[in-house]
Amino acid sequence: MANLIRIYVEDDLAQNQSIELNDQQGHYVNNVMRLKVGDEVALFNGRDGEWCASIVESRKKRCLLHVKSKTREQIGCPDLWLVFAPLKKQRLDFIMEKATELGVGAFQPIITRRTIVSKIRSDRLEAQTIEAAEQCERLHIPDVFDVLPLAQLMKDWPIERQIFVLDERGGALPIGQSLLNFAKSDKKDAPCALLTGPEGGFDPSELDLLDKLPFVTRISVGPRILRADTAALAAISCWQSVLGDWQTPLRDRYEE
């Protein structure tokens, strides 16, 4: 299974089921990867695990698959949201791809006082997370929520979800120490979110608002000022190593 092309589908997956890929996926399988009838691919839908399927019909953009057997059971996903101010296109693409690879469960774009990019296409971001999930062998597609103003998001925030705010002002605990303290607390199993601001940083009034919320903890990611995408990915990596699934050993990709 290690070398099979992985494809995300919305259909339910079960043995002996027929799946027809959409035109874009069919074009990719038939004309880009040049697979033929009898070749195999891996399918997943975020619910039913991963399945091996063989091509039974291949013509231009049409690709019909026969689902053969389950190769991986569905597993849980770290309950971590990334709350972030949208960046310009190339850097936004980068953060969506890499954060998906790192295991983020959901993306929540926000508008802050210093956010430069205010209009984003959720469908485009969702397409990027699907492509990244296919490549990195995860079994879930992260949720992509509609963009919201920061103040509105905080007003409606689920209070059980703890927020770690990347604060460049100074005075916050280093991220490693803060996460270790959290891991030893009675909230260690609570869902979490990482909140990072725009390239210009948060406005002081926004940080004052966040400081008043009981579910918010300010953290520092070191003595240097990091770009927004760098800071987000660094924080995700730290969270995964302390509270996430990085303690889970890598599965044997060649077991079959």
Whether the model pTM is above 0.85 = yes
Last residue of a domain, one of 72, 91, 118: 72
**Structural domain tally of the chain?**
2
Burial 29-50 (b: 16+ CB within 10 A, else e): bbeeeebeeeebbbbbbbebbb
CA-to-CA distance for 104 and 201, rounded, in angstroms? 22
Asked if 30 and 98 sit in the same domain, the reply is no
Asked if 68 and 133 sit in the same domain, the reply is no
pLDDT of residue 35: 96
Asked if 179 and 155 sit in the same domain, the reply is yes
Does 127 have pLDDT greater than 80?
yes
Backbone angles phi, psi at 208, to 5 degrees: -65, -40
pLDDT of residue 254: 55
Residue 12: domain span: 6-72
Query: What are the tens digits of pLDDT across the range 40-75?
Result: 999 999 999 999 999 999 998 899 999 999 999 998
Residues 6 or more apart whose CB falls under 8 angstroms from that of 201 comprise 114, 168
Query: What are the tens digits of pLDDT across the range 24-43?
Result: 999 999 999 999 999 999 99
Q: 217: closest CA among 168, 254, 175?
A: 175
Last residue of a domain, one of 55, 72, 89: 72
- Residue 105 inside a domain? The answer is yes
CATH number assigned to the domain comprising residue 219: 3.40.1280.10
Query: What are the tens digits of pLDDT across the range 176-201?
Result: 999 999 999 999 999 999 999 998 88
